Amino acid sequence: MPNPMHQFEIKRLINLEFLGLDASFTNSSLFMVIAIGGITFLTIWGMRGRALVPTRMQSVAEISYEFVANMVRDNVGSAGQKYFPFIFSLFMFVLFCNMLGMTPYSFTVTSHIIVTFALAAIVFIGVTVIGFAKHGLGFLKFFVPSGVPVALLPLLVVIEVISYLTRPVSLSVRLFANMMAGHTMLKVFGAFVVGLGLIGGWAPLAFMVAFTGLEILVAFLQAYVFAILTCIYLNDALHMHH
Amino acid sequence: MAKTAKGRGADRTRERNRKSPAQDDKLADFDKRLGRAKGRRSVTPEATARSNAMGTAFRISSELVVGLFVGGFIGWQLDKWFDTSPVLLLLFFLLGAAAGIWNVIRVALEMQSNAQDADGASKKPGSEPESR
B66:A224 CB<8 A: no
Share of chain B above pLDDT 70, in %: 68
Of B2, B5, B99, the CB nearest to A163: B99
Helix (H, G, I), strand (E, B) or coil at A13: strand
User: What average pLDDT does the segment A78-101 reach?
Assistant: 94
User: What average pLDDT does the segment A180-194 reach?
Assistant: 92
pLDDT at B123: 53
Tens digit of each residue's pLDDT (9 = 90 or more) over A15-63: 888 887 888 899 999 999 999 999 999 999 988 888 888 888 899 999 9
Task: Please state, rounded to an integer, the average pLDDT across all residues of chain A.
Answer: 91
| CA-based R_g, chain B, Å | 27
- Give residue A17's Cα distance to chain centre: 28
The CA distance from B80 to B91, in Å, is 14
- Which band of pLDDT confidence, cut at 50, 70 and 90, is reported for residue A212? very high
Residue B56's alpha-carbon distances to A59, A171, A213, in angstroms, are 28, 13, 19
Q: How many CB pairs under 8 A join A and B?
A: 83
> A77 contacts in B (CB within 8 Å)?
131-132
Q: Name the residue among A211, A212, A213, A220 with its Cα closest to residue A175.
A: A220
A221:B58 CB<8 A: yes
* B53-86: burial string, b at 16+ Cβ within 10 Å, e else: eebbebbbebbbbbbbbbbbbbbbebbeeeeeee
Task: Give the HSE-up count for residue A240: Cα atoms under 13 Å, Cβ half-sphere.
Answer: 17
In Å, the largest CA–CA distance within chain B is 89
Helix (H, G, I), strand (E, B) or coil at A72: helix
DSSP conformation class of B128: P
The CA distance from A203 to A214, in Å, is 17
Residue B45 CB-density burial (10 A; 0-12 exposed, 13-18 middle, 19+ buried): exposed
The CA distance from B85 to A123, in Å, is 33
pLDDT at B50: 77
pLDDT at A197: 86
Predicted TM-score (pTM) of the model is: 0.81
DSSP per-residue string spanning A81-134: GGGHHHHHHHHHHHHHHHHHHTSTT---GGGSHHHHHHHHHHHHHHHHHHHHHH
pLDDT at B40: 72
8 Å CB contact between A157 and A143: yes
Among positive and negative, which fits the CA dihedral B100, B108, A123, A9? positive
Looking only at the bridges linking them, the beta strands covering A21-22 and A17-18 are: antiparallel
DSSP conformation class of A177: H
| CA-based R_g, chain A, Å | 22
Check whether A135 has a pLDDT greater than 50.
Answer: yes
8 Å CB contact between A190 and A208: yes
B67:A228 CB<8 A: no
Read off φ and ψ for residue A237, nearest 5 degrees: -70, -35
B100:A166 CB<8 A: yes
User: What average pLDDT does the segment A168-184 reach?
Assistant: 93
Share of chain A above pLDDT 90, in %: 67
Q: Name the residue among A1, A108, A91 with its Cα closest to residue A39.
A: A91
B103:A163 CB<8 A: yes
A240: contact with B, CB 8 A cutoff:
no
Minimum Cα–Cα distance from B61: chain A residue:
A174
The CA distance from B58 to A164, in Å, is 18
The CA distance from A102 to A215, in Å, is 8
Tens digit of each residue's pLDDT (9 = 90 or more) over B9-62: 555 545 554 555 666 777 778 888 878 877 776 666 677 777 778 888 888 888
Tens digit of each residue's pLDDT (9 = 90 or more) over A99-123: 999 998 899 999 999 999 999 999 9
